[in-house]
Structure 1
């Protein structure tokens, strides 16, 4: 039985994300099943449904129908997001561990990227992320892989004054 979650008021993407989390549990659906329904990667799908990416009209309609949400959610899911956080450090322990790990290992990661690739950054736009479980005798391990295109800093040096002087 599909339970409908009404959007009597206009939801923000963040509020709709909370409604989606509730509807997913009510419907007994996994994030992977929702991602499969729209043919997208599970990590990308979860981020999108929590407000970090826009969905196409078709994908939004599929998700809304699957979760039993009010049709008004289709438009909200298509809205361009304000990506990232509000600038505060997350208090949720799972999210905070990433902040903590990057605070400790971020400078080392930066140095190793620069040593291997040169002066540049890892793209968070041309990017994939995966989360996997790896069995371990001391307790299962969480394996998170960031897979981003390397973007080199292309310093363009134009010398308009030098060109003028050569004339």
Structure 2
């Protein structure tokens, strides 16, 4: 939901990222990693994992945000996905870009057959909650992924049921 007083910035496209987007996604993500909101990843990792990412571009062609999705099995072996590295450029926050990315990544997860999408946040999680996520689900989250959560940052698990 856009913030009051901010003009909504149209997203020209939410599209799959390519390896050529890796440097821009890295630049977008670094400030969030510095703040502790994201796990730091080197630029080479973004290039390697480019197929996991969706990016949002403004009508002017600027990269405004990104989100990654990786298929996993939950603790019971059911098809699931993990949403990670979700960020929106500071100047684009509150303009509906995060919502556009979140809608697109949830549609992608459903298209891939995931029954649930898990994410973790050290923030409020309000955007996730507005899009159907609920707090909890640690015991159902993919086992390998759970061990990477950072309790020192106050990470919480959120889950969205797609089916």
- The TM-score range, normalised by the shorter chain, is under 0.3
Higher relative contact order (CA 8 A, sep 6+): 2
Identify the structure with the greater strand proportion. Answer: 2
Query: If you compute each CA radius of gyration, which structure gives the higher value, 1 or 2?
Result: 1
TM-score by length of 1: 0.25
TM-score by length of 2: 0.25
